[in-house]
Amino acid sequence: MEKPLIVITGASSGFGAEIAKLFNKENYPMLLLGRRVEKIKALPLNFDKVLVEAVDVTDKEQFETAVRKAEALYGKTDLLVNNAGVMLLGNVLIQDPAEWKQMMDTNVLGVLNGMQIVLPDMVARETGTVINMSSIAGRKTFGNHAAYVATKFGVHGLSETVREEVSAKNVRISLVAPGAAETELLTHVTDQNALDSYNAWKQTMGGKSMAPEAVAETVKFIYDMPQSVNIREIDIAATNQNA
């Protein structure tokens, strides 16, 4: 039996790349989305049933065009992993509001775009799964994270709301909230004081945070449960993360 389509946003690195590797090993057809397609194409994958598209998730038309292209090849989307995200640390007293907007657009509106693209068909078919990647910062506060925390609290809230709305149609909305992890999220931070503070905190964990592979395995575990079972939320962090 042909396996169903998996769609992953932010697939060029970090959690998205590791999630893609796991599903690729089991020969799922995939649509991998990101702004840096050359990085996705450099991943150690079998690309026989993999479509790679350059997509900014804040552009709903571009996003939907890519999904429909993949569905024409591989059938309807069975899993959407809303993984694309931006973390721009900064103190709200001085942070450039353009960074607030960038995070809101990507972390919240990008997730909503993806859900609106795939959910109507999932509801009609009465099957399907959406896994939204949030953060421990969607459950508790961190200094120099105000706008980022706001976006991730938003992802938590919208995920639970939509879960309630589609649960009667056998559609699963789940959320994974990772703690600090070894990804590229910090590479775009422009506030050096905020970055120094984060790195000093990271030293309390021995200078190394959680491996992204652990988060990918969590996503796969959620998806592999029977459709009648929805793991609503998993918070996952390094054992020695103290916050």
List active site positions.
148
Rounded-to-integer distance, Cα 141 and Cα 55, Å? 30
Rounded-to-integer distance, Cα 25 and Cα 6, Å? 13
Helices 60-74 and 110-125 cross at an angle (nearest 10°) of 40
Rounded-to-integer distance, Cα 224 and Cα 134, Å? 20
Dihedral (Cα; 47, 121, 34, 5), 10-degree rounding: -20
Rounded-to-integer distance, Cα 95 and Cα 236, Å? 28
Rounded-to-integer distance, Cα 191 and Cα 83, Å? 24
